[in-house]
């Protein structure tokens, strides 16, 4: 038996929109939901749809493994249940599921394999594409195939596309004129400060960022979140840091163990200096973050037509990504 239901979680901006979302989804079968960071779409929408789909599982796609684990854990915590009961997750080589699981948070490749195995998706009532603005080949293919399944084999299959910065109307048009429901966000005012000059080409990224992190921790209170391109930059920046006493420097990237990732995300009595890749950009809310340092770089997979293979390249972040990193959620 699952433990008793805990006290009701705090009300989020997405909550007033959930009854309308269910009504429109029941009528049209598809919906597009743009909502700013911190609105609560990732953890509130799937549980709200359980009553609309009393039979079958709900699949929610997350583009990152860390976000998939964290979203499933947060939904389980809010229901006072163990992970793997009503809420669970599945990704390549790892899962937390049971026969009672109704909400399954999956990574994008899992949906592709499910569709290849059986296009009718037996037992699946609705597919939710979260953080669709990140756009990947697997996510685009998954949406296209899901829409084709709904058109030809499963007219009862629900499809919901959610994002913080997506241009919603083209996606709605792709889904046959699906209704667009926009949730309002709630944000604290954020003071943005840019450096007066770019980093000198003669100086490495890591000591340059470390110096500014130290300044920010000295000048402001609360914990700090710094975005860096990859694991190597995180390790070198951590080695270059000299932080005030009472501050724990914690890494956050995809290859970390689940326990180490949870340590970075969980509330703590001490200040934290979290050095993260872009996995912390979406679907995650870290408490007590008051300072965000953005190195302005991200590492992405790009296809190289010369070699015929994909390779990792370091690029500047886009304006939409920078707005996502800004945060400021209440």
| CA–CA gap between residue 259 and residue 270 (Å, rounded) | 18
Q: d(Cα 96, Cα 49) in Å, to the nearest integer? A: 21
Q: Is residue 4 part of a domain?
A: no
Sheet containing 30-34, strands listed edge to edge, beginning at the edge strand earlier in sequence: 30-34, 158-163, 124-129, 57-62, 103-107, 87-91, 94-96
**Tell me, what's the pLDDT at 9?**
55
- Give the 3-state secondary structure of residue 17: helix
Q: Can you tell me the distance from the alpha carbon of 317 to that of 197, in angstroms, rounded to the nearest whole number?
A: 18
pLDDT value, residue 326: 66
Mean pLDDT of the chain: 86
Say if CB 278 and CB 302 are below 8 A apart: no
**Which region among 2-6, 130-134, 180-184 has the lowest average model confidence (pLDDT)?**
2-6
Alpha helices per DSSP H over the chain:
18-28, 41-49, 65-79, 108-117, 137-152, 168-174, 205-219, 231-240, 258-265, 319-326
Q: What is the pLDDT of residue 63?
A: 85
Tokens 């996995």 sit on residue? 279
Shared domain for 152 and 209, answered yes or no, is no
Claim to verify: residue 101 and residue 235 sit in the same structural domain: no
Residue 182 placed within a domain: no
Assigned domain for 78 exists: yes
Residue-level pLDDT at 88: 94
C-alpha angle 280-263-2 in degrees, rounded to nearest 5: 100
Is 181 a member of any domain?
A: no
Q: Are residues 67 and 134 both part of a single domain? A: yes
Q: How far apart are CA 133 and CA 163, in angstroms?
A: 6
232 pLDDT above the threshold of 80: yes
Q: How confident is the model at residue 64 (pLDDT cuts 50, 70, 90)?
A: confident
Determine, yes or no, domain membership for 183.
no
Highest mean pLDDT among 64-78, 141-155, 165-179: 141-155
| Boundary of a domain, candidates 174, 196, 225 | 174
Between residues 23 and 253, the one the model is more confident about: 23
Question: Helices then strands (H, E): number in the chain?
Answer: 10, 13
Q: Note whether residue 6 is domain-resident.
A: no
Domain membership flag for residue 114: yes
Same domain, 162 and 225: no
User: Same domain, yes or no, for 166 and 60?
Assistant: yes
Taking 60 as the threshold, does the pLDDT of residue 209 lie above it? yes
For 245-277, write each residue's pLDDT tens digit: 889 999 998 788 878 888 888 888 899 999 998
Q: What is the token pair recorded at 35? A: 């909502």
Domain final residue pick, 125, 154, 174: 174
Measure the CA angle with vertex 249, ends 195 and 65; round to 5°.
95
Q: How many domains does the chain have?
A: 2
Of 251, 259, 327, nearest to 288 (Cα)? 327
* Residue 49 belongs to some domain of the structure: yes
Percentage of the chain modeled with pLDDT above 70: 91
**Contact in structure between 294 and 277 (CB atoms under 8 Å):** no
Count other C-beta atoms under 10 Å from residue 310's C-beta: 12
Do 160 and 280 reside in the same domain of the chain? no
127 and 214 share one domain: no
Task: Assign 35 a pLDDT band (cuts: 50, 70, 90).
Answer: confident
Q: In terms of domains, do 148 and 255 share one?
A: no
Is the pLDDT score of 309 beyond 70?
yes
Give the pTM.
0.77
Q: Both 209 and 170 in a single domain?
A: no
Residue 52 reports pLDDT greater than 50: yes
| pLDDT-based confidence at residue 32 (cuts at 50, 70, 90) | very high
Which pLDDT score, from 0 to 100, does residue 105 have? Answer: 95
The residue with greater pLDDT, 262 or 202, is: 202
CATH number at residue 242: 3.40.50.300
- Verify that 157 and 257 share a domain, yes or no: no
Out of 152, 174, 196, a domain closes at 174
Q: Are residues 63 and 209 in the same domain?
A: no
Residues 22 and 168 occupy one common structural domain: yes
pLDDT, tens only, 88-131: 999 988 899 999 999 999 988 899 899 999 999 999 999 999 98
Which residues form the domain of 286? 205-326
Predicted local distance difference test score (pLDDT) of residue 1: 41
* Residue pair 187/38 in contact by the 8 Å Cβ criterion: yes
């Amino acid at each position: 038996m699952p433990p008793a239901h805990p006290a009701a979680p705090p009300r989020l901006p997405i909550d007033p929109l959930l009854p309308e979302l269910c009504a429109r989804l029941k009528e049209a079968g598809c919906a597009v939901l743009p909502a700013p960071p911190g609105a609560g779409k990732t953890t509130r929408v799937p549980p709200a749809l359980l009553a609309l789909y009393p039979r079958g599982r709900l699949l929610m796609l997350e583009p990152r493994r860390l976000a998939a684990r964290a979203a499933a854990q947060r939904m389980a915590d809010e229901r006072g249940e163990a992970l793997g009961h009503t809420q669970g997750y599945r990704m390549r080589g790892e899962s937390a599921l049971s026969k009672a699981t109704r909400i399954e948070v999956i990574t994008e490749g899992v949906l592709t394999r499910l569709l290849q195995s059986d296009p009718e998706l037996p037992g699946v009532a609705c597919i939710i594409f979260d953080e669709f603005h990140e756009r990947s080949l697997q996510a685009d293919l998954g949406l296209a195939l899901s829409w084709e399944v709904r058109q030809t084999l499963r007219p009862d299959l629900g499809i919901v596309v959610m994002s913080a910065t997506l241009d919603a109307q083209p996606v709605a048009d792709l889904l046959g004129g699906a209704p667009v429901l926009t949730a309002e966000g709630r944000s604290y005012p954020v003071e943005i400060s840019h450096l007066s000059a770019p980093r000198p080409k003669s100086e490495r990224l890591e000591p340059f960022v470390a110096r500014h992190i130290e300044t920010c921790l000295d000048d402001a209170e609360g914990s700090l979140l710094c975005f860096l391109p990859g694991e190597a930059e995180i390790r070198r920046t951590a080695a270059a840091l000299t932080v005030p006493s009472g501050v724990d420097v914690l890494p956050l990237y995809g290859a970390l163990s689940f326990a180490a990732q949870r340590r970075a995300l969980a509330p703590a009595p001490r200040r934290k200096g979290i050095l993260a890749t872009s996995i912390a950009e979406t679907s995650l809310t870290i408490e007590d973050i008051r300072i965000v340092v953005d190195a302005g770089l991200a590492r992405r997979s790009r296809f190289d037509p010369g070699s015929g293979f994909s390779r990792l390249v370091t690029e500047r972040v886009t304006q939409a990504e920078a707005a996502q990193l800004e945060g400021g959620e209440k």
